[in-house]
C-alpha cells in the first residue's frame, strides 16, 4: 500500500463543505447533462451517468435536483452543449499543473485559465507538456468517521472488486483503480453501503513537490484561488420579466419559468398605491392577463408574493438553491 494523496483529506473535505453550500452543484449539473447526452438518461445502461450520480450524492446534492437535471438534459435537445477541455502548465518553482474544465465557451475558459496562471507567476504550456508526469486513475476517498467497516475488510472488498491500491490516511481511506475498473469498484463499495466522500477519475501526480518559500506558496495559492473562483462562478443568470410572458412565447428562450403569484385583492391594492390606478383600471389589467391556472401549468417554480419583501427574497434564494444546475 502507498499514499497517493498526501493532502486528499483536506482537499476533499473542503469540497464537501463547498457542496453543502451549493457551490459545486452547478459543476455536477453540467456533468450530468454531458453524461445523459453521451449515454442516455437511464443509469442502468449508462455507467458514466451512474458515476456522476454517485459523485452528486457524495457531495450532498438532493435527489430531486439530480432527477431534475437528468430529465432536463434528456428532454431538451437545444440545451447548452458542454465540452471537456484540459490545460497543462507550470506554477511557481516549476510545479506541474493540470486543469480539467467543462465549458460551453472554450474561448472564455482559455482566457480565464491563462489569466489565473499568469497572475500566479505561472504559465500555460502545450498539450502533453506536463501530463506525462501524472497517471490517470480512479480515486475514491472514504471518511473514516462515516465508515463503520473494519479497515482490513474494506481493503479486501476494494481489492476483490478490482482496485489497484488501498491506503490509509490520518482521517480517510483512499482507493485507487485503473480508469476502466473505476465504475465496478465504486459500485461494489456502494452496494456494501460504504459512504464515499469523493469518487472520480482524476490525474494523480507521480511525484510531489513541496513549496517552502513564502512567496512561492502565495503565488501557488493565487493560481488555485483564481481557478476555484471560475469553478464556483458557474453560468450567469439572466432574468426576463414580462407582463405578457406566455402570450409572447418568452418561455421558449428560458431554462425555467418562475411564476410570482399574488392574490387578486393584494394586487389591486398594490397597483392603486404604487401607480395611482383606480380600482376599475387595476381590475381591468388583471382580468386581461392569463389566468392563474394557465400560469401554473407552464411554471417550474411558484413564488407566493402575498407577504413582505423578506419572505419573497427567501423564496427566491430557495428557488436558486433548488436548481443550481441552471
Q: Which helix (H) or strand (E) holds 261?
A: strand 258-261
Provide the domain limits for residue 318: 250-322
Identify which of 232, 139, 259, 252 has the alpha carbon closest to the alpha carbon of residue 189.
139
Q: Which of 20-24, 199-203, 310-314 has the lowest mean pLDDT?
A: 20-24
94 lies in some domain: no
286 lies in some domain: yes
301 lies in some domain: yes
pLDDT score recorded for residue 302: 92
Q: Which helix (H) or strand (E) holds 205?
A: strand 198-205
**Burial profile 210-224: b = 16 or more Cβ within 10 angstroms, e = fewer:** ebeeeebeebbebbe
Identify which of 210, 162, 156, 203 has the alpha carbon closest to the alpha carbon of residue 186.
162
Residue 254: φ, ψ to 5°: -120, 150
262 lies in some domain: yes
314 lies in some domain: yes
Residue 318: φ, ψ to 5°: -65, -35
In the chain, how many H helices and how many E strands?
A: 12, 9
pLDDT score recorded for residue 243: 67
- What residue spans of the chain are helical by DSSP H? 8-20, 25-39, 47-58, 63-75, 106-119, 151-160, 182-191, 214-233, 264-275, 279-287, 292-297, 309-322
257 lies in some domain: yes
Domains held by the chain: number: 1
Check whether 75 has a pLDDT greater than 60.
yes
294 lies in some domain: yes
289 lies in some domain: yes
Residue with cell 437511464: 42
pLDDT tens, 100-150?
A: 988 878 888 898 999 999 999 999 999 999 999 999 999 999 999 989 999
pLDDT score recorded for residue 220: 94
For residues 51 and 97, is the Cβ–Cβ distance under 8 A? no
Amino acid at each position: 500500500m502507498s499514499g497517493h494523496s498526501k493532502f486528499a483529506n483536506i482537499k476533499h473535505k473542503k469540497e464537501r463543505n463547498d457542496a453543502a453550500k451549493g457551490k459545486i452543484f452547478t459543476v455536477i449539473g453540467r456533468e450530468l447533462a454531458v453524461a445523459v447526452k453521451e449515454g442516455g438518461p437511464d443509469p442502468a445502461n449508462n455507467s458514466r451517468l451512474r458515476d456522476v450520480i454517485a459523485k452528486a450524492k457524495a457531495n450532498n446534492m438532493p435527489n430531486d435536483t439530480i432527477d431534475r437535471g437528468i430529465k432536463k438534459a434528456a428532454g431538451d435537445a437545444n440545451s447548452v452543449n458542454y465540452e471537456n477541455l484540459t490545460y497543462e502548465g507550470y506554477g511557481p518553482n516549476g510545479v506541474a499543473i493540470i486543469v480539467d474544465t467543462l465549458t460551453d465557451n472554450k474561448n472564455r475558459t482559455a482566457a480565464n485559465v491563462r489569466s489565473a496562471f499568469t497572475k500566479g507567476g505561472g504559465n500555460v504550456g502545450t498539450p502533453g507538456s506536463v501530463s506525462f508526469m501524472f497517471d490517470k486513475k480512479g480515486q475514491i476517498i472514504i471518511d473514516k468517521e462515516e465508515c463503520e467497516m473494519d479497515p482490513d475488510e474494506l481493503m479486501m472488498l476494494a481489492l476483490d472488486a478490482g482496485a489497484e491500491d488501498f491506503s490509509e490516511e490520518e482521517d480517510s481511506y483512499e482507493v485507487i483503480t485503473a480508469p476502466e475498473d473505476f465504475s465496478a469498484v465504486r459500485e461494489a463499495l456502494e452496494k456494501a453501503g460504504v459512504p464515499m466522500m469523493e469518487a472520480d477519475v482524476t490525474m494523480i501526480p507521480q511525484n510531489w513537490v513541496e513549496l517552502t518559500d513564502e512567496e512561492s506558496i502565495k503565488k501557488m495559492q493565487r493560481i488555485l484561488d483564481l481557478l476555484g473562483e471560475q469553478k464556483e462562478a458557474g453560468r450567469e443568470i439572466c432574468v426576463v420579466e414580462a407582463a405578457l410572458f406566455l402570450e409572447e412565447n418568452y418561455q421558449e428562450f428560458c431554462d425555467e419559468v418562475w411564476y410570482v403569484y399574488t392574490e387578486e385583492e393584494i394586487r389591486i391594492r398594490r397597483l392603486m398605491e404604487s401607480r395611482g390606478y383606480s380600482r376599475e383600471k387595476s381590475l381591468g389589467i388583471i382580468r386581461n392577463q392569463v389566468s392563474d391556472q394557465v400560469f401554473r401549468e407552464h411554471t417550474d417554480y411558484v413564488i407566493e408574493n402575498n407577504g413582505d419583501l423578506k419572505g419573497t427574497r427567501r423564496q427566491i434564494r430557495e428557488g436558486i438553491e433548488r436548481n443550481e444546475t441552471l
